[in-house]
Amino acid sequence: MIEFPPGLILVLGALLMPVVGGMGSRVLSLLLPLATLAAVWMVPDGAHVTMPFMGDMELTLVQWNPPTRVFATIFSLMAFGGALFAFNQDRKIELPAAFVYAGSAICVTFAGDILTLFLFWELMAVGSTIVVFSGNTEAAGRSGLRYAAVHFLGGAIMMAGIIAHVFALKAGGIEHPLLLKYFQFGPGGFDGLAFNGAGDIAPFLILIGILINAATPPFGSWLADAYPEASESGTVFLSAFTTKTSVFVLMLLFAGTEVLIYAGLMMAVYGIVYAILENDMRRILAYSIVNQVGFMVCGIGIGTEMALNGAAAHAFAHIIYKALLLMSAGSVLYMTGKRKCTDLGGLYHTMPVTMWCGIIGALAISSFPWTSGFISKSMISQSAADNHLMLAWFVLTAASAGVFLHAGIKFPWFVFFQKDSGLRPPDPPWNMKAAMIFFAFLCIALGIWYEPLYAILPYQNAAGGDKLYEPYTISHVISQLQLLLWSGLAFFLLLPVLKRTLTITLDFDWFYRTFAPGLWRHVLRPIVVVMGWTRDVLVDESKGFARAMTRADAEASRLSLFREWSLGSAMVLITFMLFVYLVVGFWT
């Protein structure tokens, strides 16, 4: 029996990699994720590993939560694929930090108490921040600082909610207040709150902290700010863990919370709008992450077993095809040094492997039949229809069309086709091609042979029958092909409008990147300067007055009025003044 969180294999192995160094470190980077994947599947059903904490409490380090197997499995696969893609890079810090990041995400999925979950949640933030900094550019440094500030703020808000709820549970006589079962708010514990005490605001603080990590607007601009500034391989790692771990935690704690339906719909639309406006290919795909996570968050808000299965399956599929798309974009950046669509085009001539892998990823994210997106995303839309949530169904369907516009067609068209940019780079090194081919294979294999994925979804009786879900019905295939056909037609009809120019897209981060510094420079700082000048003047004048009074003491002491009075004389004077005050107050 495995008596430790499997993710610790990656976390502790990451500490060995700089010591081993050279080719040994690179080989270790491929073996560690495979060992972690094996350990995940070696944890027996019903495993429960605890350790004492602060005397009367305990931490649950290993526990099977309903979605644990599906998330821990894909996190391990992603760590392997990312390591293979980064096999040729020589950055000594990035890959160990990425393994700390990935291993911590896996540990979160096995956590059985809120404190263990939070500790590994924050360790993820540390590892991912280092990955951003490893981009080794000035822009990466600035983005890394903003990324760290946002995530540690979210962590502080989440911890405030955890502390408030733990104290409320302790006051209610709960013996083990850290257990996750006491933090599963859902509709009963969230929508029905009455704000009768500090514990009542706890779910809202915890939810806000999670939504910040999930990149929910208006908190989500950190994603498109930071991810594109990481290295080619760093962005691949970043795309997989933070937002999907947030999906996992939302699924555990807030399944069925209605507000998440509307938060998810907002994310789906927001991601499409900004992705369509973008000129930077990696920012297009970054905003696409927000769009796709919106589908998952909406499914969690719907809260039925079918919707939760759909959110878990879509997270699994999304990690694969999004990593594939970012590998394709990263390969282009690695070989050309260019990121903007206006600088690219015609790369199909000399980068055929990168092009075809990018196209497969684009088809998968667009839910093309016989790809991984087709067998996962439709479970969420079908759940919305089954529960008569027509607004959710309509927005999700429209968002599916928008996905094909911005990621399914726009990314491969502007990068590999459109105009001939004159660039003739070859395909990237063998390891980068191998990673892309591996993930492209998974996209197609899952679309055709989806039963193994369905077998590890958290709720096996969601459909109430022998088959969990049947994606390949005639109506579903035809309707999806029609949707993609009309979306593709709209793209080429609107191509003159969608053609990218050298523009900058303003997001919510404008408020803390531009507005707040401008407010400080032009408004607050002048006020502070004036106040400081006024204080200095007053202090100087007071000192001068004090010196003048000191010089006058010798002369003033000769006057009877300034001589030291006895206590009796002082009391007589005070009594007389109070009497005068009372008389005047009475008559007026």
Task: Retrieve residue 89's tokens.
Answer: 């890079």
In which element (H, E) is residue 48 found? strand 48-53
Residue 395 pLDDT > 50, yes or no? Answer: yes
278 within some domain:
yes
Where is pLDDT greater, at 535 or 405? Answer: 405
Geometric angle at alpha carbon 343, from 274 and 358, rounded to 5°: 65
Which residue range is the domain that position 535 belongs to? 510-587
The percentage of the chain sitting over the pLDDT mark of 70, rounded to a whole number, equals 85
Q: Which sign, positive or negative, has the C-alpha torsion 155, 161, 167, 169? A: negative
Q: What is the mean pLDDT of the chain?
A: 86
pLDDT band, residue 547 (cuts 50/70/90): low
Residue 408 pLDDT > 50, yes or no? Answer: yes
300 within some domain:
yes
Task: Retrieve residue 529's tokens.
Answer: 């300067």
In which element (H, E) is residue 309 found? helix 305-336
pLDDT in tens, 274-327: 888 888 899 999 999 999 999 999 999 999 999 999 999 999 999 999 999 999
- Burial of residue 583, with CB atoms counted within 10 A of its CB: 0-12 exposed, 13-18 middle, 19 or more buried: exposed
The percentage of the chain sitting over the pLDDT mark of 90, rounded to a whole number, equals 57
SS3 49: strand
Residue 558 pLDDT > 70, yes or no? Answer: no
110 within some domain:
no
Q: For residues 521-537, b (16+ Cβ closer than 10 Å) or e, as one string?
A: eeeeeeeeeeeeeeeee
Where is pLDDT greater, at 574 or 54? Answer: 54
295 within some domain:
yes
For residues 492 and 551, membership in a common domain is answered with no
Q: Residue 96's pLDDT is what?
A: 94
For residues 440 and 567, membership in a common domain is answered with no
What torsion, rounded to 10 degrees, do the Cα atoms 66, 69, 71, 74 define?
A: -160
Distance CA 129, CA 402 (A): 31
215 within some domain:
no
373 within some domain:
yes
Distance CA 32, CA 12 (A): 10
Q: Which sign, positive or negative, has the C-alpha torsion 401, 405, 407, 413? A: positive
Residue 150: partners with Cβ closer than 8 Å, 6 or more residues away: 212, 219, 222
H-state helical runs in 337-466: 352-365, 377-386, 390-403, 411-416, 430-448, 451-455
Contact call for residues 115 and 155 (beta carbons, < 8 A):
no
pLDDT band, residue 562 (cuts 50/70/90): very low
pLDDT in tens, 109-134: 999 999 999 999 999 999 999 999 99
Residue 566 pLDDT > 80, yes or no? Answer: no
Q: Residue 189's pLDDT is what?
A: 53
Residues 537-554, mean pLDDT to the nearest whole number: 60
Distance CA 419, CA 421 (A): 6
Nearest one of 108, 368, 88, 339 to 242, comparing CA atoms: 108
For residues 292 and 344, membership in a common domain is answered with yes
Q: Residue 440's pLDDT is what?
A: 96
In which element (H, E) is residue 59 found? strand 57-63
For residues 266 and 378, membership in a common domain is answered with yes
Q: Residue 579's pLDDT is what?
A: 61
Distance CA 416, CA 354 (A): 9
Residues 476-502, mean pLDDT to the nearest whole number: 80
Nearest one of 518, 212, 485 to 368, comparing CA atoms: 485
In which element (H, E) is residue 481 found? helix 474-493
For residues 523 and 535, membership in a common domain is answered with yes
Distance CA 261, CA 300 (A): 7
Residue 559 pLDDT > 50, yes or no? Answer: no
Nearest one of 135, 53, 55 to 94, comparing CA atoms: 135
130 within some domain:
no
pTM of the model: 0.86
Q: Residue 531's pLDDT is what?
A: 75
Q: Residue 89's pLDDT is what?
A: 86
Q: Residue 219's pLDDT is what?
A: 84
224 within some domain:
no
Other beta carbons within 10 Å of 481? 12
Q: Residue 192's pLDDT is what?
A: 44
pLDDT in tens, 183-240: 888 765 554 444 445 457 888 999 999 999 999 988 888 999 999 999 999 999 999 9
Q: Residue 512's pLDDT is what?
A: 67
For residues 450 and 577, membership in a common domain is answered with no
Q: Residue 285's pLDDT is what?
A: 93
Geometric angle at alpha carbon 337, from 335 and 340, rounded to 5°: 115
Chain-centroid distance, C-alpha 327: 20
For residues 357 and 438, membership in a common domain is answered with yes
Write the DSSP symbol of residue 564: P
Residue 374: partners with Cβ closer than 8 Å, 6 or more residues away: 367, 368, 447, 471, 480
Other beta carbons within 10 Å of 543? 10
pLDDT in tens, 26-77: 999 999 999 999 999 999 888 888 888 776 778 889 999 989 999 999 999 9
Domain total in the chain? 2
For residues 541 and 574, membership in a common domain is answered with yes
For residues 501 and 520, membership in a common domain is answered with no
For residues 527 and 383, membership in a common domain is answered with no
Q: Which amino acid, one-letter code, is at 291?
A: N
Where is pLDDT greater, at 10 or 174? Answer: 10
Q: Which sign, positive or negative, has the C-alpha torsion 102, 108, 111, 113? A: positive
Distance CA 369, CA 448 (A): 9
Distance CA 325, CA 356 (A): 11
Contact call for residues 182 and 174 (beta carbons, < 8 A):
yes
Q: Residue 385's pLDDT is what?
A: 92
For residues 501 and 539, membership in a common domain is answered with no
Task: Retrieve residue 310's tokens.
Answer: 């759909």
Nearest one of 98, 73, 101 to 84, comparing CA atoms: 98
Domain limit, last residue, from 449, 481, 507 = 507
Residue 22: partners with Cβ closer than 8 Å, 6 or more residues away: none
Residue 429 pLDDT > 70, yes or no? Answer: yes
For residues 390 and 494, membership in a common domain is answered with yes
Residue 403 pLDDT > 70, yes or no? Answer: yes
